[in-house]
Amino acid sequence: MTEARLPEARRPEPNTTISHRRWTRWALLLFGFVGALAACGPQKASDSEPVKYFDALSQAYSADDIYGILDFYATGARIQNRAGEFGEATVAITDLLRSSHRDPDRRLLDVYVSEEGALVLIRRPTTEDLEAVVTSVDDGGTITDEIVYVAVGTLSDGLQSSPDVIAAYDDIYRRFALAWSSGDRDAVAALYSPDAVITVGLHGEISVGSTAISVESSATADTWTAIEIGKVRNAAEAPGAGGPALYLDPIGYGHDPRRAIAIYEVEQPDGCLLRIGVNWILGPDDTIARESRYFDVQSYRACFGDSPTGWWTGLQLPRPRDEIVSGVFASDGQTIDIHNGTPHLQSLLEWGLGRFQAAGLAEPRVDSVTFEPSRRCDGVAGRVVDIEISRDLFMCIYESDLCVDDDECLTFTQSARFGMLHELAHAWMLDAADDPARSRVLELSGRQRWNDRDVAWTDRGVEYAADAIAWGLAEEELALVRLGNPPCSEILAVFEALTGVSPPDGNKVCSD
């Protein structure tokens, strides 16, 4: 098979490091910083890197392109959406995409950024739900986890949260705007727990304790306004969108979620309106224990002429994940690049290579092993691509499919072990199965063709041979059901014709 090898992807390096500043200096530093940026000249809001990035992600969702979606997420990224079908469980993004019955269609409304990630506002056209997604990212912009919050109007319509809970958060939402606009230190202090922490999205951790927060609140001259959700950019496109610009992380009807997202318009001293997203975590006394602030990219540019810098500076759309080397594995004199690997998946590869060693056979030669997600896996369980410059094995399995015990992964599933041996057998035969051995396999198995795509998979000698090698190297007795359960003696004869040895461990004794 002749296929071009995909080039190795390189992640963009972050251009700047955001420094941490105290709250008492935040307002002055922020405006001095953006004033310098404004000298660079305005740019179109649509050119914003985070807006383009999350719009492309939304488009991948709308196209139901699982591989396109997963390109944006780190291996092992996890999602929590307690209003969805998985309830309180936090699930891996791969499991969510494969198991969810929900229409994935979504539209990007707005993007707010912070030092650690983004607050992404979306609309789902099918249900007209409005959601706020708190997104954590690494330095290259790859998503590591998400928490989905739902607009209170949707929660009320779907009876996913009680009217009392919604009313309580609406009260906090409006009191917050009044307190921060008034300069009343007592009103601000009453919002927060004694050891509360505020993190401003562009400047790191800035204030600890309700007393310090209340004193420092008087350093700003901003006017905060609680807005209706229809004023969130493009949210009005959702029929019936009403109520406050407030999102909750629901647990269930009548239960307090303890977490909320609020969107505000903040009027600057010069009259410009800046949108800020606030993420609250409440303490047991219903005061704010932790608060993180995110800045809307588009209104920021409208006010100040340019964007701040951070992890999103120079951010490019992701390359396919299977182009990215996640690790390197050295074994028996060869070095193997691993794509989309995890420690458990790499252990499966190590186990498979070890079975060849246990039989006294040379390790199969491979230059790379790629696990899911990979577009090369579309419609197949695995494949080996051998061209002049490389030999690449694609093992189409997610880590969630790998282990009998999901927590500790002490035992790999039988299908995972057999699949790895089958694909390694293909790589091994490229060097070790000469014409006489192939002819002998065809004779023993009753097949006519070694490898012909016009012939059914089960009638190809090369697939029979790979299954026979996997059968011989497996640590337990197996029935080759997909080959029609050939006799044990026949499979054993094929294994020995190919390898010149008996199966290891002496566990393949045939009585037929």
pLDDT in tens, 276-291: 999 999 988 889 999 9
Global pTM reads 0.81
Q: Rounded CA gap, 117 and 202, in Å?
A: 10
pLDDT for position 75: 84
pLDDT for position 127: 84
pLDDT in tens, 177-205: 999 998 889 999 999 999 999 988 776 66
Residue labelled with tokens 């699930």? 91
Q: Rounded CA gap, 36 and 202, in Å?
A: 16
CB 425 within 8 A of CB 466: yes
- Binning pLDDT at 50, 70 and 90, where does residue 48 land? confident
Residue labelled with tokens 């929660």? 155
Return the minimum-mean-pLDDT range out of 76-90, 129-143, 211-225, 392-406. Answer: 211-225
Q: In the predicted model, is pLDDT for residue 13 greater than 50?
A: no
* 23 against 315, higher pLDDT: 315
What is the arithmetic mean of pLDDT over 75-91?
Answer: 85
Domain residue extents for the chain:
23-304, 321-504
Q: In the predicted model, is pLDDT for residue 306 greater than 80?
A: no
Buried b (16+ CB within 10 A) or exposed e, 179-189: bbbeeebebbb
- Binning pLDDT at 50, 70 and 90, where does residue 414 land? very high
pLDDT in tens, 118-163: 999 999 998 888 999 999 998 878 999 999 999 988 776 655 667 8
Q: With both helix axes pointing from N to C terminus, report the angle between 488-499 and 461-473 in degrees, rounded to the nearest 10.
A: 90
pLDDT for position 252: 65
* 509 against 504, higher pLDDT: 504
Average per-residue pLDDT in the chain?
84
Rg of the Cα trace of the chain? 29
Q: In the predicted model, is pLDDT for residue 22 greater than 50?
A: no
HSE of 447, CA atoms in CB hemisphere, 13 A: 26
pLDDT for position 219: 65
Q: In the predicted model, is pLDDT for residue 40 greater than 60?
A: no
Taking the CB of residue 406, how many other CB atoms lie within 10 A of it? 9
Q: Rounded CA gap, 445 and 450, in Å?
A: 11
pLDDT for position 14: 30
pLDDT for position 373: 92
pLDDT for position 253: 60
- Binning pLDDT at 50, 70 and 90, where does residue 359 land? very high
Q: In the predicted model, is pLDDT for residue 1 greater than 60?
A: no
Of 124, 117, 121, the closest CA to residue 103 belongs to 124
pLDDT for position 140: 79
Strand ranges (DSSP E) for 268-379?
A: 273-282, 288-296, 325-331, 334-339, 368-371
Q: In the predicted model, is pLDDT for residue 18 greater than 50?
A: no
Q: In the predicted model, is pLDDT for residue 42 greater than 60?
A: no
DSSP assigned state of 8 = P
Q: In the predicted model, is pLDDT for residue 71 greater than 50?
A: yes
CB 426 within 8 A of CB 413: no
Buried b (16+ CB within 10 A) or exposed e, 316-333: eebebbbbbebeebeeee
Return the minimum-mean-pLDDT range out of 11-15, 117-121, 456-460. Answer: 11-15
What is the arithmetic mean of pLDDT over 40-53?
Answer: 61
pLDDT in tens, 223-275: 999 999 888 887 767 666 678 999 998 776 666 778 999 999 999 888 899 99
pLDDT for position 473: 96
What is the arithmetic mean of pLDDT over 426-448?
Answer: 95
CATH 2.40.70.10, domain 23-304, yes or no: no
CB 272 within 8 A of CB 302: yes
